[in-house]
Amino acid sequence: MSVLDGLSEFVEEIEKEKLPIFIFLGLLYGLIGLAEILCDLPLFKFAVNNLMQSTSTLLQITGFVLFIVDCIVIASSPFILAYSLGSITAHYASRFKRVLSYLVNLIVPSDVVDVAVTYFVRKPSRIARIVFIVALILSLLMEAGFNSAINVSSLKKQVEIFVGADYRVDIYRYGSPINMSLIEKEIMQHYDGVKIANVYEFWGRARRIGLPYIKVVAIDEEYFDVAFLDKNFFDGITIEEAYKALFKKREVLLGVSARNNFGMRIGDKLRIYIRAKRGFAEKYIEVSIAGFFFFAPGLLRDIYDAQKTDYIVMMISVKSLKELTNLPDKLLINIPEGLNTKEFTDFLKTTLSSNGIISAIYSFATLLNLSLNSSLAGITATLFKLEFAELIALTILGVYLVFYSEYFTRKREFALLWARGIEKRDIISMASVEALLVVIFSLIISLVIAYSFSLSLTKLTNMGLIGSLKPPIIPVAVFPIDVFLTIIGELIAVWIGAKIAIRQALREEFVQLLRIHH
């Protein structure tokens, strides 16, 4: 009787077994935690911002308990979800033998693939155990890669919002009366393709009881050409609609604190008193709210000002305040690709200072590089690159120990296969196929662990740093080249560790094993 025939009856018996109920409960638990992470921690925020801030002692205690429970769920759910998925996958693996055989044949064609796959799926509990352990080992390096990538992407987005464009110029003082349009024209003529947006700042006061001061930011149409705008920065309105509202309909946009904290809605009208920053010009304007925004790239001192309650931020067209606009308070500049940034920066500094303009110039490229070299996110990314080789070595060692202990305990089992007529090189090939299947399952599960855990860590860190404020949204699938290289490196490391373990565990002659036990 062939090995395949000998195992088929046993495999069918395993398929009839039921999974313990706690596996499905673990899956539900893990999915709840994953949903909490992906939905931006709604329970966590409710506990912290509502229940724990309540005047009721009972609600405060309830909020604290919910806070602790939610932290535990967020931290543990990736691992419980991974274990549950591994157990369920292993339990039903025998139903997909043909698919598994097809996949393995695509990677390493061999005559023993079908037998190896059948042999692999006959013990789901063993599959689940080894897959989960290897997945934990893989997730160590992968989580570091994902965490580094998410932190760097988040840092880049924050720098984009602060600078707002390739260059941001904050003008503090004009030395003498000048024509700013002539200076801007000189800059654009000297470097073809340069675009400049003017920004004007005022303070206003609404004729409505209970509202704080309003920081009025007037922009021109070029702002939408040069600024690093993102659709996620706006709420209740698209970028195209925002442009039309500001420059076609003469409406305004407000920071989201106006809606969240002061009850304003789209379509509401406000009468605002505004005074010029320089001189004595003043104006009353009546405006209609077209939408809200979370972030205004390049316009604010703190990127979260639009969400804070110290004052309301209002974005308006410069044409609506033309009587008050004289000299801009900020310049946002976009330069064409390929332009020497150092040369342009030096020219910009010289041009402004020669005209008596005292200013601070922020270059996006320079500030991003400085942030990556000095911030915690940048240091973490650098350490990850430095420790990459060390983590790869630890992965090889960990995988080697797992597979060595697995195959060492199964030496007699392989010896009996040899006694049935299967050559030793085919047995080693079967063990290699099993290792490959473990790697495939473990890689998928480790991705779940690494990504969800790193994402939860990032969001909890953000909550600790900025509280209930909404951080800028970064892509859900952060998959830069560093993470891709990490996965490739891990696959190679796992394969090396597994192959060494297999050969070390099975180096003893099978005939000696059979003599000992029989």
pLDDT score at 378: 65
Give the contacts of 248 (CB within 8 A, at least 6 positions apart): none
* Paired residues of 314 in beta bridges: 216, 254
88: helix, strand or coil? helix
Q: Name which of 161-165, 248-252, 279-283 the model is least confident about.
A: 279-283
Q: Which of 346, 350, 328, 348 is nearest to 173 (CA)?
A: 328
Instruction: Give the per-residue SS3 of 419-438.
Output: HCCCCHHHHHHHHHHHHHHH
DSSP annotation of 471 = P
pLDDT score at 15: 47
Residue 370 has pLDDT above 90, yes or no: no
Per residue in 262-272, pLDDT (tens digit) is: 989 999 999 99
Residue 135 has pLDDT above 50, yes or no: yes
Mean pLDDT of 27-33: 89
pLDDT score at 37: 80
Q: Which of 78, 203, 69 is nearest to 135 (CA)?
A: 78
pLDDT score at 10: 42
pLDDT score at 164: 94
CA dihedral 51, 55, 56, 57 (to 10 degrees): 90
Mean pLDDT of 81-95: 81
Per residue in 278-301, pLDDT (tens digit) is: 767 788 899 999 999 999 999 999
- What is the band of 377 on the pLDDT scale with cuts at 50, 70, 90? low
pLDDT score at 8: 44
